Amino acid sequence: MRINITDCGAVADGVTNNAAAIQTAIDTCERQGGGTVVVPAGRFLSGTIVLKSHVELHLEHGSVLVQSHNPEEIKSFNGDVSSSASNGMDGAQDGSFLYACHGEDIAITGTGTIDGRGREVYFDDDTDGGFHESPLAVKGFRPRTSYLEDIDGLTVKDITFFDSCFWTLHMAGCRNVLVDGIRIRNNDRGPNNDGIDPDSCQHVIIRGCMIETGDDAIVLKTTKPITEKYGDCEDIVITGCVLHSRDSALKIGTETWGSIRDVIFADCVIKDCSRGAGLWVRDGGTIERVHIHHIAGTTRRYAEFINREKPTGWWGKGEPLYLSAAYRNEEKRFPGCIRNIRADHLDITGEAGFFFAADKDGIIEDITVTDSRLRLERRSRHTPEYYDEQPSPQSVYRAPLSWYYNRGAERVKLDCELEMDAFMENYFSRGMLKNGAADGLDECPAG
């Protein structure tokens, strides 16, 4: 069955709330056993759209589905949604624009655009001393662009997500997922506008995507309420993507109430990210069997907040690979374990070195980096001074800098060519720092 939303009364004037018309088309398709709901060319405003099993929402070329910012038109699912809700972030709500829960065989496809209207909630309060690089301030109501929970057989293909004001593609407890060839074009100073968030998902392929965000481009996590319902996050392949973020290109954690394992991150380009790949344990889970290979690109530092209560902005100082097993806060609960991490053929030009750090109870072990190249060069206007272990009691601190910092990581093999420009030679040691002092490596033929 194929239904055009205009046949159900949708109006492409960019003003009318078309949620009822679009929902009628989706519900009709579901009752008839499934089919395709077509959004034709034009600009269609809508409140929350609830996706249903065996229904494909297809946006034709030239179509724009516009997210309402009226709280009365965005459903707050309350107890029906077991997500981590707002996470304490300013203006964030537990509702979403596109929503589905407990379904199967759901698809969002086409060459149209989903517009999250982040430009209407972000503003520059010049909090970083004129650099205009730190996260923007926020105002008003900002729901997720999508929240898709417990879907078996989810496909998101070819679509463009534009200017999300909060998490863009949040998949919670989903299985057998294909995200293929999508574009995410968010404001790269937008806080909390993550690209793709697989949360306690299994059997996920993310391929051929182009993602530009302020917050992390792709984030694997196991939040507490989702993990309690759907288990660990595992069997994830991320390949052939181009990623820009002022945080991490690939982030695993920090939410690690369950384990995250069997992950491949390969054949990707990263562009001016605060970190390449960052792995955090904070909540007792294990990150293991992660393979990172053939990653090329650049990392850099961005300006910090100086005029807000929060002392820092983006997380990261330009590290190509960052591993952290630290206490989340002063409670000093067991943070968890990072083990069996393999990286090869990394070719990164950036402003920081490899960083592996475990607190007393944290575990980082069996880490291998081979056939890789790191060039340290000045790529921003900022002086290298700090390490960044957010979120943790250490937070951000000044310390001697090295191209390789190791505090508590065991069984590390690092085979990496090293180059530095003249500026970085003044700040970085060519040796490693281990527990705050120079030391040798298990294996390190750095040039």
Q: Which residues of 95-105 are buried (b: 16+ CB within 10 A; e: fewer)?
A: bbbbbbbebeb
Residue 445 maps to a domain? no
d(CA 17, CA 233): 36
pLDDT score recorded for residue 432? 80
Compute and round to an integer the Cα radius of gyration of the chain.
22
For 23, the enclosing helix (H) or strand (E) is: helix 19-31
For 224, the enclosing helix (H) or strand (E) is: helix 224-230
Residue 444 maps to a domain? no
Domain count within the chain:
1
Residue 446 maps to a domain? no
Dump the DSSP string for 136-169: PEE-S-EEEEEEEEEEEEEEEES-EEE--SS-SE
Detail the DSSP E strand segments found in 26-91: 35-39, 42-46, 49-50, 55-59, 63-67
Backbone angles phi, psi at 14, to 5 degrees: 70, 5
Beta-carbon count within 10 A of 239 CB: 15
pLDDT score recorded for residue 95? 85
For the domain that residue 182 is a member of, what is the CATH number? 2.160.20.10
Contacts of 99 (CB under 8 A, 6+ apart): 48, 49, 50, 51, 75, 77, 81, 146, 147, 148
pLDDT score recorded for residue 443? 42
Residue 447 maps to a domain? no
d(CA 305, CA 418): 31
Residue 221 maps to a domain? yes
Domain region containing 45 = 2-439
Backbone angles phi, psi at 425, to 5 degrees: -60, -30
pLDDT score recorded for residue 313? 86
Q: Are 249 and 267 in contact (CB under 8 A)?
A: no
Q: Would you call 6 helix, strand, or coil by DSSP?
A: helix
User: Which is it for the CA torsion 110, 247, 202, 369, positive or negative?
Assistant: positive
pLDDT score recorded for residue 309? 65
User: Splitting the chain (447 residues) into consecutive groups of 10 residues, what average pLDDT does each group show?
Assistant: 97 97 98 97 98 98 97 74 40 77 97 98 92 94 95 98 97 98 98 97 98 98 96 98 98 98 98 98 98 98 79 88 97 97 98 97 98 97 93 92 95 96 93 63 41
Backbone angles phi, psi at 90, to 5 degrees: -55, 125
- Single pTM value for the model: 0.94
d(CA 274, CA 314): 7
d(CA 330, CA 138): 28
Residue 235 maps to a domain? yes
Q: Would you call 303 helix, strand, or coil by DSSP?
A: coil
Residue 167 maps to a domain? yes
pLDDT score recorded for residue 430? 86
